[in-house]
Chain A
């Protein structure tokens, strides 16, 4: 079964850090680019970060640039999102998603169920 499973969410204090994981199964993980997308309570989907198949190319949304870091370990079929200096407006469900084909701007065809990050003192 082709799937992505996120983990690592929870409640964290402002200014602290957390690492989210996205573990893949049922497909060749190393041949797909991976994205992180979030949805804050009552808000729409917001694209957060992208990483290429080999991890050499990374893009970030302006809202997280310099605070978040995306990485991957193809030997573990896992992608990560390191979230640092967390703020209240980072509170959201964080989804990881697979890009359909390694063509810039392609669709996200497989999504995880999401992991909730709550930033609160």
Chain B
């Protein structure tokens, strides 16, 4: 039921900037409902990275930032580090389906 589309993978060299897109529709990202981002390493619990489109929980480096425009959202990672290698997911709420939805997920590789 993934109605949020992300690129399967993105990569960058250490220190570079990468962005991950999350494309939705007028019933989820295009509404007043927020977009959230999670970082997930295999075998561990997902970690909240960005909430309410652009806020960072305590302890999350300011290298991570989020934004939203229309029916799409983006996560940017600046100053890419080896420890940023992980899977990243966007998440929102779909007002038509009345369900929470995750994006398809993006694997970030540090070259």
Contacts and interface: CB of A to CB of B under 8 A. Distances in A.
Interface string A61-79: 1110000000000000000
21 contacts: A44-B2, A45-B38, A45-B102, A46-B1, A47-B91, A47-B102, A59-B98, A59-B99, A61-B1, A104-B93, A105-B100, A106-B34, A106-B36, A107-B52, A108-B36, A108-B91, A109-B51, A111-B45, A111-B47, A112-B45, A113-B44
Given A105-B34, A108-B36, A108-B91, A113 B45 contact: yes
Interface residues of B, number: 29
B46 A95 contact: yes
B92 interface: yes
A116 B105 CA distance: 20
B1 A63 contact: yes
A97 B105 CA distance: 18
A84 to B, nearest CB: 19
Given A46-B2, A46-B102, 12 more contacts: A35-B100, A44-B102, A44-B104, A47-B102, A62-B1, A95-B45, A95-B46, A104-B33, A105-B93, A106-B51, A109-B48, A111-B45
B57 interface: yes
Interface string B43-66: 011111001100001000000000
Interface string B24-48: 0000000001101010100011111
Secondary structure call for the B interface: strand
Interface of A: 35, 37, 44-47, 50, 59-63, 95, 97, 100, 104-109, 111-114
Contacts of A59: 98-100
B33 A45 contact: no
Given A45-B89, A47-B99, A105-B100, A100 B34 contact: no
Contact of A107 (B51, B98, B104): B51
A107 B87 contact: no
A60 B47 CA distance: 22
Contacts of A47: 1, 91, 99-102
